[in-house]
Structure 1
Amino acid sequence: MVDGAHLLDVAGPEAIEVRARALAIGAHVATTLVVTGYPAEVTPGWLAPLLNFPGHLDIALHIEPVPNAVAAAGLKKQRARLESGRRAGFDKGHLDDPEVEAAAADAADLAYRIARGEGKLFHVAFYLTVHAPDEESLAEQAAAVRAVAESLLMTIAPTTYRALPGWLATLPLGIDTLKIRRTFDTAALAACFPFTSPDLPITTDEDGIASGVLYGLNAVSGAPVLWDRFAQDNYNSITLARSGAGKSYLTKLELLRLLFTGVTASIIDPEDEYVRLAETVGGHVIALGANGVRLNPFDLPAAPDGSEDVLTRRVLFLHTFLAVLLSSELTAAEKAVLDRAILATYTRAGITADPRTWQRTPPTLVDLATILAEDGSEAAFDLADRLTPFTTGSHARLFNGHSTASTTGHLVVFALRQLPEEVKAPAMLLALDAIWRQVTHRTPPGRHLVVVDEAWLLMRDGAGAGFLFRMAKAARKRWTGLALVTQDADDVLASPLGRAIVSNAATQILLRQAPQAIEVISDNFHLCHGEREFLLSATRGEALLLTGDRRHKVALISVAAPGEHEVITTDPGELASRYLADEDPDTDDASGDEAGWES
């Protein structure tokens, strides 16, 4: 018969040395910290920074339910003490104590919820045991754990002269040898449950093979972060960051890797940051604003299927486009005149509600101005005058005339850098419309990604934000994802349409934020204190990836291979050094393998 004591000797440490605040357990040392104070408000998963601590840390959560009768009696005594203290203060002429008032209100609310059976009380103890190979490392690790805990607004105390009971309390024995407990209700306890992981769940395709592309490395565990936007509830994403945080770099990195999986893409590029990428992978660049490059807002789909009223949809789009072009909300009278004039313009070109006429040559903007001038009403004359810069004036070559550029290809970049700032928003809208017409009528169907960089240019206009919102809602039905990239959180989150667009994005990426914007970001994305501090102190390329349902989140560091980096970087200093190296072949370019970032 095997001796049970012998088995325990094998499983246990060879020796334990008990010190004032630490234990020497075999060849390593350990110390236990006790959580004695908690923040007033928390969200689910708020303990993730501690659970994901990269060192050797044992966490124990001891839970003991309190019978309802005992809980009710205790709350009754607590409410009586608080009320007597308040009345005694009133009798002495003291002012209200905000902390006592808040405690009394919380105790009353909790008592009523327990009486209605909506919650229970629990005794909860929370202990942290830190392990390290030596005393010096233990002090560093314990200080790091304390810093993480205090960033979560927790109060930590060492187990002085109780090191052995502290260590035993964190062993998988289920024994609370310290009994340093606090009372939690059901909601507070549920938020503490450690149902979290430092890594995102891995998505697989129909064959059970991991899908998605590499976004970077987990900032906590160092594991690769793989994410498949096309495996989520919807395929949209929102990327928010301050200028220079690396948001466009991360977007181009994902785009380049998606192209290798067979995804096609269209990009609205206000600053020509995606041009080199398109040229490298054989994409098509449409430089709006260049001589002879034009898109006609009156174009109809090239191959309508006849199942929808294409002409009516086109008229509705032209209302949106002209509102953005004229930089103002149109009055009811102007909308009525404009609607009548647009239909008359198509009719004069021989295009009617009959689908057989939709393949005819569409009219142009100057044809609409002519119809408005012939209308005779004051509103029509005013609209015709306001269209003059875009029909015969300085911007006539941008929007007036038949389309001269093809918008088909596996990667199409609409480069807008040559356009004046005043017309970038309508040009972005026109490019998005061209993309949407390609998406809705392409054959065969396939995964497609639409990237709108510097989306704030369009979001600040109500009509433009409305078009993006409708596109975000309808993109999933076309196997298409809409990726918005912007540095101005206020333009996105300050309006109901902007918040609706964010709520329709199953992939949300936050990079470094400015202190002035962190409150808005925190409120809308429900960030905890540690996540706020991470975004305020993040370096270039560090990001927080959130899922739209908030069930998973991960801090990551974007990494690119040297070949990828060479294609996607737009860092001015690196490009300048590369240009000088090309001019002088004898000069070594040592920066080729280093990461370069841009806003």
Structure 2
Amino acid sequence: MFAPDSLAVAPRYLEVGGEWVASFAITGYPREVQPGWLQPLLTHPARVDVSLHIEPVDPVTAAQRLKRQLARLESGRRHDSDHGRLADPQVEAATEDAYDLSARVARGEGRLFRLGLYLTVHAADRDQLTDETAALRALAASLLMDAQPTTYRTLQGWITCLPFGLDLIRTRRTLDTSALSTAFPFTSPDLPPPSPASTAAPSGVLYGHNLGSQGLVHWDRFALDNHNSVILGRSGAGKSYLVKLELLRSLYRGVEAYVVDPEDEYARLAATVGGTHVGIGAEGVRLNPFDLPLHTRPDGRRTAPKDTLVRRSLFLHTVLSVLLDTPLTPDERAVLDQAITATYQRAGITADPRTWTRPAPLLGDLTTVLRRSKNRTAVDLAARLRPFTSGAYSGLFAGPTTTRPEGHLVIFSLRDLADELKPAGTLLTLDTIWNQISHPTTRRPRLATVDEAWLLMQSPAGAEYLFRMAKAFRKRWAGLTVATQDTGDLLNSDLGKAIVANAATQILLRQAPQAIEDITRTFDLSQGERHFLLTADRGQGLLAAGTHRVAFEAAASPTEHHLITTDPAELAAYAQQTGENDPLLDADDLVTGPAEADSSDEVDLDSG
């Protein structure tokens, strides 16, 4: 059923069904090649089939052949020298290459392979085939390759280029491991490839395909100096789609992930992969900012750093500054510092680590201490905090923390949270994530994603906290992903620019004309890159990592697309076809128990 309707064989071409084909074998190769040197063949505008046939050479046989080849080359050189002839530059270069290759094979740094490279060009008629054949041979010549037609073996050449694994032409060239790795079709010339001598398993995440070639964009954040990433794009550019695609493919690698989800877009993904979904702001879900980050070791003992209480008091200053939506004055900081200490003491928690296991106070307890103070600043702070303790926004702080989620994927949804509380909810969620990452029970790569980071960047205290996380994540084998559509809040502040500077991976999607000037200035874009970001389709973007930049388009399988898409039309059509709604996890099904790690500066809370 896959055979063509007809097949006509001619000495230099074939007529297969309704098209004409001609095949070529590569007989000459350049002396030196770079990664991705075959990309021009794959990006040729005509329809061209490129077939690589690779056969390993036994190490013993390789050593013997290299020895005979060196003997022939040296014999020729000495014969020319004895007869007073000038040295042949090609023979000299071949001799040096043979010595170098023989040494690497002897040391086990590489192996030899027999490579057959064949091309088949397709055309609609004979005249077009003549033009395409000339263009293909010219392209091969520009790459310093000699493409010879398979004259009187056109059928064998066509079959050789089919996905049968049959090499009926058997025009081979011996290559070593490093040279063969550069001929891999999916090697992108725009991004630095992994070392061909490395024996480690491939790592990284497939983002999509290169818009300038047919290669794939495969990137490993954990192989860079830091593991942070920043994704900037206008609304509807495919920002969340790309974040979820990277997140899902990172889970394949065993990476633990935490997500701050402002619009509950990750629920379907969490339900499918068995993740944990926490609805911040939902009824009965609370986060107590006064909780001390205690960690349970595998032997059951609870530990904490010696400065835990001091650090928590300082963090409460940040929380209250975000809640009040204004920077604290020096007088307010002094009053709050005394009130926070008094609040912990009323709960029986002092500088003695043995008291840290007692129930933590609540935000309402702090308000009570402030209200009972005779200081006017304290009374004013208590009045400003009243909506968060007994008013409309008190649900999030009305009691102890209800859960401490953990798992391979944890989604913190902020959709049910009031807009006025989302910056504070994002901050408390990041604090929960930091406590998990800073004291893991097992060492493994982790990712923390802050979607719509502009919610936190609007507050100076929140922006400073996010910047500290970006600086500290690298030492914990973790990466921070900051995604936002409001590039102004990120690039118009010093902290925002510092967060971008501390991200080794920077992804720019389609930009609004109003923001392109800031983007161009910050990332030093060329005119071509600027125009591309203004006209890019959904899912297309620019991956920048140092001096390397590549334009790509995110590509997902149908199953992945269904899990990560947020297109209402697609979701409605799927619900109509299956009769099912999007799966959501219940907040009551959370797994509790924080993750911890041992540390030399921690104290044992269960002993005297």
Deviation at 1:135, TM superposition (A): 11
CA drift at 1:249: 0.5
The one of 566, 580, 605 equivalent to 1:570 is 566
Mapped contact 1:200–1:226 kept (Cα < 8 A): no
Distance 1:446 1:205 in 2: 25
Question: Displacement, 1:258?
Answer: 0.6
1:407 Cα offset (Å): 2.2
Question: Deviations along 1:516-574, whole A, 9 cap, x unmatched?
Answer: 11111011111111111111111011111111x22x11111111111111111111011
Q: Distance in 2 between matches of 1:171 and 1:319?
A: 64
Distance 1:52 1:574, change over 3 A: same
Per the alignment, residue 201 of structure 2 pairs with 209
CA distance in 2, matches of 1:56, 1:326: 60
2:291 counterpart of 1:299: yes
Q: Quick check: 1:363 aligned with 2:328?
A: no
- 1:305 Cα deviation after fit: 3.9
- Number of the residue aligned with 1:478: 476
CA contact (8 A) 2:463 2:496 kept: yes
- Identify the match of residue 375 of structure 2 among 377, 380, 404: 377
* Distance in 1 of aligned mates of 2:580 and 2:349: 59
Q: Contact between 1:204 and 1:210, CA under 8 Å: does it hold in 2? A: no
Superposed displacement of residue 257, structure 1: 0.8
1:399 Cα deviation after fit:
1.9
Is 2:218 aligned against 1:226?
Answer: yes
Deviation at 1:202, TM superposition (A): 3.3
3-state DSSP class of the match of 1:285? strand
Report the 3-state secondary structure (helix = DSSP H, G, I; strand = E; otherwise coil) of the residue aligned with 2:206.
Answer: strand
CA distance in 1, matches of 2:373, 2:319: 21
Query: Quick check: 1:580 aligned with 2:576?
Result: yes
2:294·2:303 contact (CA, 8 Å) conserved in 1? no
Residue by residue, what CA displacement relative to the aligned partner does 1:491-540 show, whole Å, maximum 9, x if unpaired? 00000000000000011011111111111101111111111111111101
Q: Against the structure 1 CA distance between its residues 472 and 376, is the aligned structure 2 distance closer, same or farther, given a 3 Å change threshold?
A: same
Deviations 1:342-383 (A, max 9, x none): 011111111111211111110000000011011210000000
1:326 paired to 2:318? no
2:339 to 338, 341, 351: 341
TM-score of the pair, normalised by structure 1: 0.65
Matched, 1:254 2:246: yes
How far apart, CA to CA, are the structure 2 residues paired with 1:558 and 1:426?
32
Secondary structure of the structure 2 residue equivalent to 1:316: helix
Q: Which residue of 2 aligns with 1:403?
A: 401
Shift in Å, 1:441: 1.7
Shift in Å, 1:444: 1.3
Cα contact 1:204–1:211 (8 A) shared by 2:
no
Is residue 556 from structure 1 mapped to residue 561 from structure 2 by the alignment? no
Gaps of 5+ in 2: 1-22, 24-38, 47-121, 133-138, 145-187, 296-301, 582-608
User: What secondary structure is seen at the aligned counterpart in 2 of 1:330?
Assistant: coil
Relative to structure 1, the CA distance from residue 496 to residue 205 in structure 2 (aligned partners, 3 Å threshold; closer, same or farther) is farther
SS in structure 2 of the partner of residue 315 of structure 1: helix
Structure 1 residues 443, 139: closer, same or farther in 2, change over 3 A?
Answer: same
Q: How many pairs were matched up?
A: 418
CA RMSD of aligned residues (A): 3.3
8 Å CA contact retained: 1:239, 1:510: yes
Q: 1 CA distance for matches of 2:211 and 2:244?
A: 20
Q: Counterparts of 1:258 and 1:584 in 2: how far apart (Å)?
A: 28
The answer on whether the counterparts of 2:234 and 2:485 sit within 8 Å (CA) in structure 1 is yes
Name the counterpart of 2:235. 243
Residue 270 of structure 2: aligned partner: 278
**Residue type at the aligned position of 1:574:** E
Q: Which residue of 1 aligns with 2:13?
A: none
Local SS of the residue matching 1:485: strand
SS at match of 1:389: helix
Distance (whole Å) between structure 2 residues aligned to residue 517 and residue 302 of structure 1: 43
CA deviation after TM superposition for structure 1 residue 442, in Å: 1.8
**3-state SS in 1 of match to 2:480:** strand
Instruction: Write the distance in 2 (CA, Å) between the matches of 1:345 and 1:579.
Output: 51
SS across alignment from 1:554: strand
Instruction: Please give the alpha-carbon distance, in whole angstroms, between the structure 2 residues aligned to 1:249 and 1:454.
Output: 13
Counterpart-to-counterpart distance in 2, 1:538 and 1:500: 27
Structure 2 CA distance, aligned partners of 1:575 and 1:544? 28
Distance of 1:241 and 1:459 partners within structure 2: 16
CA contact (8 A) 2:509 2:542 kept: yes
- Residue 528 of structure 1 is matched in structure 2 by 526
Contact 2:43–2:214 under 8 Å retained in 1: no
**What is the DSSP-based 3-state SS (H/G/I as helix, E as strand, rest coil) of the residue aligned with 2:257?**
strand
Structure 1 pair 371/536, CA: closer, same or farther in 2 (3 Å)?
same
Distance 1:565 1:296 in 2: 37
Contact kept in structure 2, 1:198 and 1:221, CA below 8 Å: no
1:214 and 1:235 mapped to 2: Cα distance?
16
